[in-house]
């Protein structure tokens, strides 16, 4: 109850930040990121876009993978209008396609760039059952499995960059508090849905994918330690805020629900009440300005885990409102994380075989 009250009023936690802190505020302690190269998935809108904008403001070189190159190029143009010295590279990536993930990694590695920061932010919410080209339920494929393969293929590059530069590498997986809405066996559930043994529920599938994100983070942190890599892995809950995840269900009721939730859970930061600066020009309407203020807050925890000095050496943790928090009991299951990793390796290695689901958590 006390945690809920603190969240609603925005009181700061031990980090000095809280639910009302913005991405710009939490990166004040890291004003010069010109030595950092970051890959940010899902950076064409919402939380990912604000994360990219703020990191560019601090000088980081950005690589923006996107399914829509047009959207990514528009985002690049917006950022460079605000910060003309920004270095931004756009590359194609469809996270629901394992072949696309491999192609993206090959293109990135061919650029011979360092990689200090990987932010797995992109997300999808499928209301209706659909499968990817690899035969995987679409929400799980996009939110988790694509990011699993992307991270796996880039781990050595990040370890190498950390060795040669002496700068700690960081991997940030954007999960959600909704991961706690599912407490069973992730792969068992997906198998039952695939075989039509249980009805598909979009919210349940989303919760499964977000639980997988947390489990992935825990096991990833252990494997990076085993590699003796100077790379950390943490996951974050960005808070309750509307993004393009709901684009399949636009309408009055959706607008009303999110507007009400936003009023209850977020307030417009003081920075957004001031006269708009050049950085706000492309957000034309008051509704868009209000929404962006929420994104600034929602991006804060991601940016905190990504670049704040206080997080140095911290790995395998779950953050909410820029403070360490506790994930659900299912997410903390020590047996579940390595089992999911093993099953995921099999899925990305060969999705044509009929895998027998393993129990991920009891």
Tokens describing residue 202: 């979009």
d(CA 39, CA 62): 6
Tokens describing residue 149: 């393969």
Give me the pLDDT at residue 208, please.
97
Q: Which residues of 336-350 are buried (b: 16+ CB within 10 A; e: fewer)?
A: bbebbbebbeebbee
- List strands edge to edge, sheet with 231-237: 88-92, 61-66, 37-40, 117-120, 169-174, 231-237, 318-320, 323-325
Phi, psi of 169 (to 5 degrees): -85, 150
122: nearest Cα among 209, 53, 215 = 209
Least confident of 11-15, 61-65, 331-335, 338-342: 11-15
Mean pLDDT to the nearest integer, 172-177? 96
Assign a CATH topology to domain 21-236+279-347.
Answer: Rossmann fold (3.40.50)
* Sign of the CA dihedral with 145 first, then 150, 155, and 156 last: positive
Pairing of strands 318-320, 323-325: antiparallel
Place of tokens 């600034």: 296
Helices and strands in the chain: count of H runs, count of E runs? 13, 8
The model's pLDDT over 18-45, given as tens digits with 9 standing for 90+, comes to: 988 999 999 999 999 999 999 999 999 9
250 vs 318 pLDDT, higher one: 318
Least confident of 79-93, 233-247, 344-358: 344-358
Active-site residue flag, 200: yes
Q: Which of 200, 206, 304, 318 is catalytic?
A: 200
pLDDT band at 6 (very low <50, low <70, confident <90, very high): low
Tokens describing residue 161: 């960059």
pTM of the complete model: 0.84
Whether the per-residue pLDDT at 132 is higher than 90: the answer is: yes
Average predicted confidence (pLDDT) for the chain: 85
Give me the pLDDT at residue 298, please.
83
The model's pLDDT over 187-242, given as tens digits with 9 standing for 90+, comes to: 999 999 999 999 999 999 999 999 999 999 999 999 999 999 999 999 999 875 54
The model's pLDDT over 268-325, given as tens digits with 9 standing for 90+, comes to: 233 333 333 333 333 434 445 444 555 568 899 999 999 999 999 999 999 999 999 9
312: nearest Cα among 16, 25, 29, 13 = 29
37: nearest Cα among 129, 165, 194, 130 = 165
């Amino acid at each position: 109850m006390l945690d809920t009250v603190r969240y609603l009023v925005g009181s700061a936690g031990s980090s000095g930040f809280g639910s009302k802190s913005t991405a710009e505020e939490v990166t004040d302690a890291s004003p010069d990121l010109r030595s950092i190269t970051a890959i940010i998935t899902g950076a064409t809108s919402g939380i990912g876009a604000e994360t990219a904008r703020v990191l560019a403001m601090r000088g980081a070189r950005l690589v923006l993978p996107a399914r829509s190159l047009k959207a990514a190029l528009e985002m690049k143009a917006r950022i460079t209008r605000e910060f003309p010295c920004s270095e931004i590279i756009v590359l194609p990536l469809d996270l629901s396609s394992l072949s696309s993930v491999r192609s993206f990694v090959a293109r990135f590695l061919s650029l011979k760039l360092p990689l200090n920061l990987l932010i797995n932010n992109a997300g999808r919410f499928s209301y209706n059952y659909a499968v990817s080209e690899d035969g995987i339920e679409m929400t799980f494929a996009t939110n988790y499995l694509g990011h699993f393969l992307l991270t796996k293929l880039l781990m050595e590059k990040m370890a190498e960059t950390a060795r040669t530069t002496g700068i700690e590498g960081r991997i940030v997986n954007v999960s959600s508090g909704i991961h706690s809405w599912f407490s069973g066996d992730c792969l068992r559930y997906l198998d039952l849905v695939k075989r039509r043994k249980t009805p598909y529920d979009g919210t349940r599938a989303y919760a499964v994918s977000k639980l997988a994100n947390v489990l992935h983070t825990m096991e990833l942190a252990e494997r990076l330690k085993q590699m003796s890599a100077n790379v950390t892995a943490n996951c974050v809950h960005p808070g309750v805020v509307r993004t393009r995840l709901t684009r399949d269900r636009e309408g009055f009721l959706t607008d009303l629900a999110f507007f009400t939730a936003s009023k209850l859970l977020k307030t417009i930061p003081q920075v957004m009440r001031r006269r708009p600066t050049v950085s706000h020009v492309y957000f034309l309407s008051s509704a868009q300005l209000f929404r962006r203020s929420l994104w600034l807050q929602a991006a804060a925890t991601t940016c905190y885990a990504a670049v704040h000095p206080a997080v140095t050496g911290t790995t395998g943790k779950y953050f909410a409102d820029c403070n360490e928090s506790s994930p659900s009991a299912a997410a903390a299951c020590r047996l579940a994380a390595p089992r999911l990793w093993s099953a995921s390796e099999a899925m990305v290695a060969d999705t044509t075989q009929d895998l027998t689901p393993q129990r991920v958590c009891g």
